[in-house]
Every structure is written in C-alpha cells, then in structure tokens.
Amino acid sequence: MSARIEFAAVGRKCRVPRAMARELAARVRGFPRLHVQHGRGACRKGDDPTMMRTSFCSSDVARRRRSGVSLLVVLVSLCLVAIVAVLAIPRYFGRHEVTLDNACRLLTRDLRSLQNRAALEKIPARLVFDADGWQALDPSDQPIEGLGEGHAIVRRFSSDGVFEGVTLRTIEVGADSALKVDARGLVGAAGRLVFEFRGETREVAIARGSGQVLVHGAELSEP
C-alpha cells in the first residue's frame, strides 16, 4: 500500500510509498493541513521527494489570518485599564479646583431642581444646609425628590467618595440655615456659602428670586 501526497514539484503530482508519506508528514508537522490521499503506486522515476514543495490548504491559512486576539490579551488589557483608572481618578478629583468647582455645580443643579419641583407642585420648599452638605424638605419636613431624578435631594460630603473632605465653612442663607423657595419656584432671600477643601475655598452667592448662583463673581453654567 502507498499514500499519495499532492506536491507542487515541476508542475505535476506524484505517488510515494506509505512509509515515505509518514516521514514527510512528520517533518512538516505543525504546518497547515496536507492533502493526503491513499492509493497504489510509487513515486515517478526521476522525482526527488526531498526537493518537492508541499501544497498546503489555503483555507487553513485564511482561517489563521482571520483569527482575533486571544482571551489572555483581552484580560491583560482590561487589567491595565483598571489599574490606570484606579491611579488616575483619585488624583483628578483630589485637585482642589476640580472638587470645589464640581461641588458648586452640584449645588446649582440641586437648587434648580428644587425650584422646578416647587413650581410644578405649587408647594413651598426649603434647602437646609449644614457643614456636611444639604437636603431639600417640604413644609412637613419630608425629603423632596429632584424633578426627573427619582431620588431625594440629599448631599453628604463625608459619605461621597468624590466630595470627601469638602465642608461648608460659612452658611448665610437665612433662619435655621435654610434657603426658602416659594410655590412659584422663587428664592425668598439672597444667600452666601463658602466651600472649603484642603485649605482652598470657593465663595458662592445665591441671588434672591431667580436663585442665580455666582462663584467669585462669575456665573456658573447651568447643568
């Protein structure tokens, strides 16, 4: 018995003995699949099997070219992204200008949400401040949800990883440290707040009526 292997040698095919076919297959092990067929006969006279080039299956080569990245590469990439995020995010929010400015923007958004809620439901409300943050309450001292937010307007710097370390050093918003909003959504009296973070401060002024928020004389952009 002999096995036939297709060779691209001098533009023709040949047959080789089974033992020689096994030996050639062992030499090219690890390469794309060979076209091996069983049959009778021997190599033609004058053909040198050692000088012949095997004919590989083109589909195997194409399949290898189409193969994507391995799961290990994906996992390593995700680990690197996570490490960079863990190192970079705390450094970014640890900058006093970023943290204080974001706290002022958060106050602006909460005050605007409270004004909209009061005007929509036609009920008075108030924003009560303390050194650790603020919360919105209705006339019966119940928390008020932000308009379209689905959760109460309550901010506590000490329990928020982004704003941890921020405090309200100065609170001048009226009696009981409460900024009152009437049923039309207008602020009853002007107010003044001073945010502090790691020795740096931001002074905030709240205008009567519209509730416009100013920081160091510059109007904050509406969220």
- Each residue's pLDDT, cut to its tens digit, for the chain (223 residues) gives 444 445 444 444 556 577 776 776 666 565 544 444 444 444 454 544 444 444 444 555 555 555 566 888 888 888 888 887 777 666 655 555 678 888 999 999 999 999 999 999 999 999 999 999 999 999 999 999 987 778 899 999 998 877 888 999 999 998 889 999 999 999 999 999 999 988 889 999 999 999 999 987 444 555 4
Asked if residue 61 belongs to a domain, the reply is yes
Q: For residue 65, what pLDDT is reported?
A: 55
Domain ranges, residue 184: 97-219
- Residues 60, 122, single domain; the answer is no
CA distances from 160 to 58, 89, 95, 103, 105 (A): 59, 14, 16, 11, 15
Q: Is the pTM of this model over 0.95?
A: no
Asked if residue 71 belongs to a domain, the reply is no
- Residues 105, 39, single domain; the answer is no
- Residues 112, 214, single domain; the answer is yes
Rounded to whole angstroms, how far apart are CA atoms 21 and 31? 15
The total domain count for the chain is 2
Beta bridge pairs of residue 6: none
Report residue 5 as tokens.
């292997």
